[in-house]
Amino acid sequence: METPTICKCGFISVLARDPDSLVSYNEISNTYSIALANDLSPIIAFCPLCGGRELSDTQSMPECGCGLVLGWANEPNIPIEYDSEFNEYCLIAQDSRKTILYYCPICGGHLPKTERTSLFTTPSTEEIIEINERLKSVTTMDDVVRILGEPDERYGPIINDPEKKRVYGMKDVRQGLRYTSLAKTLVLTVQENEDGRIHVIFEGKPKSI
């Protein structure tokens, strides 16, 4: 009998509900598998996001010792790729959506540490507090522009696939504003979602900006 897949974060069950993700669930064995090729569908022993451990335990996890993910990334017909810019291994879904693999799904060891954080600034708490204070009473996108001025970029609408919305809890975006030069340490994105609510997102600024 197969050992059930170990996941503490719940992400693996979300992936399995996405028909494009290549991850499927076997209710009888309580295991998840990943369809990498017609003759290759290994059982996922450990969640690739949390490694099957609580967040507080992940710092002491050993490196991947089986090397399977590294090997799969070198196979052109297997939907796992290595992103040299960020030093990340990703699973490529049927709809081209990428899922970063932080841990080996077979042995549970951690994969190479992502370089993503080194390429972006860390948003300062002071700037986040200041912007939140300025936007605390906004109810419309016109309010945002009136307070912050014209954005560096406007975008939208964004219409998501209904199935993806159901699986990932996504919302359509009526319109979005992106401010790249408003603050020193962050990029501010303000979105008006399909329900009319204003959603504020703080992200690190690419160090090239």
Is residue 50 domain-resident? yes
- Identify the CA nearest to 92 among candidates 100, 49, 84: 100
Number of domain units in the chain: 2
With a CB cutoff of 8 Å and minimum separation 6, the contacts of 121 are 184, 185, 186, 204, 205, 207
154 and 96 together in one domain: no
Is residue 187 domain-resident? yes
Per-residue pLDDT of the chain (209 residues; tens, 9 = 90+): 568 899 999 999 999 999 999 999 999 999 999 999 999 999 999 999 999 988 666 566 789 999 999 999 999 999 999 999 999 999 999 999 999 999 999 999 999 988 988 899 999 999 999 999 999 999 999 999 999 999 999 999 999 999 999 999 999 999 999 999 999 999 999 999 999 999 999 999 988 75
Q: Is the dihedral of CA 54, 58, 60, 66 positive or negative?
A: positive
Q: Which residues form the domain of 47? A: 11-117
Q: Which two structure tokens, joined as six digits, stand for 134?
A: 């300025």
* Spatial distance between the Cα atoms of 122 and 37, rounded to a whole number of angstroms: 39
Q: What per-residue confidence (pLDDT) applies to 116?
A: 86
Q: What per-residue confidence (pLDDT) applies to 4?
A: 87
Is residue 151 domain-resident? yes
Domain-terminating residue out of 82, 117, 152: 117
Q: What per-residue confidence (pLDDT) applies to 117?
A: 85
190 and 148 together in one domain: yes
Is residue 1 domain-resident? no
67 and 99 together in one domain: yes
Q: What per-residue confidence (pLDDT) applies to 58?
A: 57
* Spatial distance between the Cα atoms of 23 and 32, rounded to a whole number of angstroms: 7
Domain-terminating residue out of 117, 146, 179: 117
149 and 186 together in one domain: yes
Q: Which two structure tokens, joined as six digits, stand for 60?
A: 């002491």
Q: What per-residue confidence (pLDDT) applies to 122?
A: 94
107 and 161 together in one domain: no
* pTM, entire model: 0.85
Is residue 209 domain-resident? no
Domain-terminating residue out of 83, 117, 151: 117
Q: What per-residue confidence (pLDDT) applies to 190?
A: 98
**157 with 173: CB under 8 angstroms?**
yes
63 and 142 together in one domain: no
Q: What per-residue confidence (pLDDT) applies to 135?
A: 97
Is residue 59 domain-resident? yes
30 and 70 together in one domain: yes
53 and 139 together in one domain: no
Q: What per-residue confidence (pLDDT) applies to 69?
A: 97
Is residue 6 domain-resident? no
Encode pLDDT of 79-134 as tens digits.
999 999 999 999 999 999 999 999 999 999 999 988 988 899 999 999 999 999 99
110 and 75 together in one domain: yes
112 and 170 together in one domain: no
Q: What per-residue confidence (pLDDT) applies to 168?
A: 93
**CATH classification at residue 134:** 3.30.1450
Q: What per-residue confidence (pLDDT) applies to 146?
A: 97
66 and 25 together in one domain: yes
53 and 88 together in one domain: yes
